[in-house]
A = this chain, B = another copy of it.
Amino acid sequence: MSPWIAADWGTSRLRLWHLSAEDELIEARSSEDGMGGLAPAGFAPALARLSAGWEAALVLACGMVGARQGWVEAPYRPLPCPPLGPGLTSAPSGGPSGGPPVRIIPGLSQASPPDVMRGEETSIAGWLTANPGWDGVVCLPGSHSKWVEVSAGEVVSFRTFLTGELFAALGAHTVLRHSLSPSPGPDGWDQPAFAEALDATLSRPEQLAARLFSIRAEGLLTGLAPGAARARLSGLLIGAELAAARPWWLGREVAIIGEGPLAGLYAEALAAQAVPTRLAESGPMTLAGLVAARRMMEGRT
């Protein structure tokens, strides 16, 4: 048993935790070397850079590092199944200097409707480690928001919504870019504008496409503030997601695993629908899941 490295390697970020043989945190680091910006040959150097000086016998990674466009493609495990299971994929050796072996956790797939996840399975495993025996729905807001049904320790079904990527693409690559403030700008967040927009698409989701252009038109005609425009776009898209995800949360308990303000927005929106929620930060949940995966790997569970 030796120190090791837990890695959450997503599309836009790489997060590393240096852990002792007893899984105690020694140090955490992160960088912008997400899978989205790396060619296959770039993964080993990015890992070596960020873990410089760390002694480790193993790197255990989850997330988009195992995607087809990632370092090496890891398989998907088909539902229903526990979030973690056998079948780690070895990444190619880390170059002339060697470096510890790298193992990638498989994603999960659903045949109908077709859907996939990479990384969220590990956060869910962390949540179940912290809440043994928990049954319910897990919501993981983000670029690709996931709604996941968990029952008797297994992932039973899930659905992915492109909400975060839609927000980014609309804000940067359509006419709406003229109307929005850059990310949390000096004019701040307009909570009433968010709430009003969320209500609008939650109750009338078919109005989404029309309401999007209204943001631009109102900016031109009545000077809608950039902060209000940004909050409204967020509200419209999250409202549309919640409308589509209604069967997932109606009458259920929902665990929200996410980060900071975004997770809070989902929690408030669900609270307004009288849905009981519990919030957890995704970082600690993912770390707990990686630790659980390491223990499983060594037959310690």
11 contacts between A and B (CB under 8 A): A68-B178, A109-B220, A113-B217, A114-B217, A115-B213, A115-B214, A168-B174, A169-B170, A169-B174, A205-B208, A206-B206
The answer for the CA separation of A241 and B221 in the assembled complex, in Å, is: 23
Question: Which of A156-164, A257-265, A268-276 is the contact stretch?
Answer: A156-164
Residue among A68, A170, A213 facing the most chain B CB atoms (10 A cut-off): A213
Interface range on chain A: under 10, 10 to 19, 20 to 34, or 35 or more? 35 or more
Q: Say which residue of B116, B166, B217, B218 sits within 8 Å of A220 (CB atoms).
A: B116
Do B175 and A144 touch (CB < 8 A)? yes
CB distance from A260 to the nearest CB of B (A): 22
Which residues of B are found within 8 Å of A214, using beta-carbon distances? 113-115
CB of A197 within 8 Å of the partner chain: no
Do A217 and B169 touch (CB < 8 A)? no
User: How would you classify the secondary structure of chain A's contact residues: helix, strand, loop or mixed?
Assistant: helix
The answer for the CA separation of A69 and B205 in the assembled complex, in Å, is: 31
CB of A46 within 8 Å of the partner chain: no
Per assembly, the copies of the chain total 2
Which residues of B are found within 8 Å of A221, using beta-carbon distances? 76, 109, 111, 114, 116
CB distance from A138 to the nearest CB of B (A): 16
The residue in chain B whose Cβ has the minimal distance to the Cβ of A222 is: B114
Instruction: Name A's B-contacting residues (CB within 8 A).
Output: 68-69, 76, 109-111, 113-116, 144, 159-163, 165-166, 168-170, 172-176, 178, 205-210, 212-214, 216-218, 220-222, 237, 240-241, 243-246
The answer for the CA separation of A113 and B110 in the assembled complex, in Å, is: 41
Residue among A161, A205, A206, A237 facing the most chain B CB atoms (10 A cut-off): A206
Q: Say which residue of B144, B168, B178, B240 sits within 8 Å of A206 (CB atoms).
A: B240
